[in-house]
Amino acid sequence: MTWNQFENELYKLLKDRVTSTEEPAASRVQDLTVLAKEITDLYHTTAISTKETSQRNIFAPAALEPGKTAIQSAIFASLNMMYNLNLKASVATLMPIGLAVSTYWVPAISPGIINTLPPQLPAVAPSPGSIVTFTGNPVLVAQGFKKAYTSYDNETDFNVSLRKSAGDIRKGFENHMKTIAGTYVGTTPVPAPVVIPWVGLIPV
């Protein structure tokens, strides 16, 4: 799933869960529990379709599955707290979402989650291959949600506000994924170890 597909699907589900057009778009969600699950499922579908910058894909997507629960819980808890306590969206109140998204990628610190092939020249074989060394900047996710929930209260076109909100949430996830970093560790024909850094995961 590409980021454009993610945004389009998110816009549809936001629109489906609206109960009123008389309030800001951020206040129209009918069921936060279901919304949190749907956003999480969209993110997971996008995440497992990614490749790192040297085109190695996610080889063991099931290893990332456990992280979905934390993302879903964080989205629900953050939004529910905002509504119940009448809090204005902020990076601080939405940071649990960013931290959960970063934690989602922790399993990829271990070898085998990202495909070991193709080898990265000058390496001819993985040893152990591609691993994540930094799970991304969580602030970027929180910033995306904050903008979505604070920027369009005065937007007169309801559908435009929802579309912009979907785009902001997408951009937060996308910007975070661009900061995920790792290394490819392989062996040259000599043989000798080689460590090659990479930055960013891109869905295809």
Name the 3-class secondary structure at 184.
Answer: strand
Q: Which domain holds residue 175?
A: 3-108+137-179+199-203
For the chain, how far is it from start to end, CA to CA, in angstroms?
A: 6
Q: What's the pLDDT tens digit per position in 160-187?
A: 888 999 999 999 999 999 999 999 999 9
Q: What is the pLDDT of residue 18?
A: 63
Flag whether 188 is in a domain.
Answer: no
Flag whether 91 is in a domain.
Answer: yes
Query: In terms of DSSP bridges, do strands 193-199 and 125-134 run parallel, antiparallel, or are they unpaired?
Result: unpaired
**What is the longest distance spanned by two Cα atoms in the chain?**
69
Task: Return the closest-CA partner of residue 75 out of 83, 63, 66.
Answer: 83
Name the 3-class secondary structure at 66.
Answer: coil
Q: What's the pLDDT tens digit per position in 7-24?
A: 999 999 888 876 544 454
Flag whether 171 is in a domain.
Answer: yes
Task: Return the closest-CA partner of residue 131 out of 115, 106, 108.
Answer: 108
Flag whether 73 is in a domain.
Answer: yes
Angle at 128 between CA 122 and CA 132, to 5 degrees: 95
Structurally, how many domains does the chain consist of? 1
Q: What's the pLDDT tens digit per position in 53-102?
A: 878 899 999 999 999 999 999 999 998 888 878 888 899 999 999 999 99
| Alpha carbons 17 and 30: distance in angstroms, whole number | 5
Q: What is the pLDDT of residue 48?
A: 95
Query: What residues form DSSP beta bridges with 187?
Result: 125, 193
Flag whether 38 is in a domain.
Answer: yes
pTM above 0.75, yes or no: yes
Which residues, 6+ apart, have CB-to-CB distance to 147 below 8 Å? 168, 171, 172
**The tokens of 178 are what?**
């661009």
Q: With a cut of 90, say whether residue 39 has pLDDT above it.
A: yes
Flag whether 126 is in a domain.
Answer: no
Flag whether 127 is in a domain.
Answer: no
Task: Return the closest-CA partner of residue 75 out of 117, 118, 29, 116.
Answer: 29
Phi, psi of 127 (to 5 degrees): -155, 70
Flag whether 193 is in a domain.
Answer: no
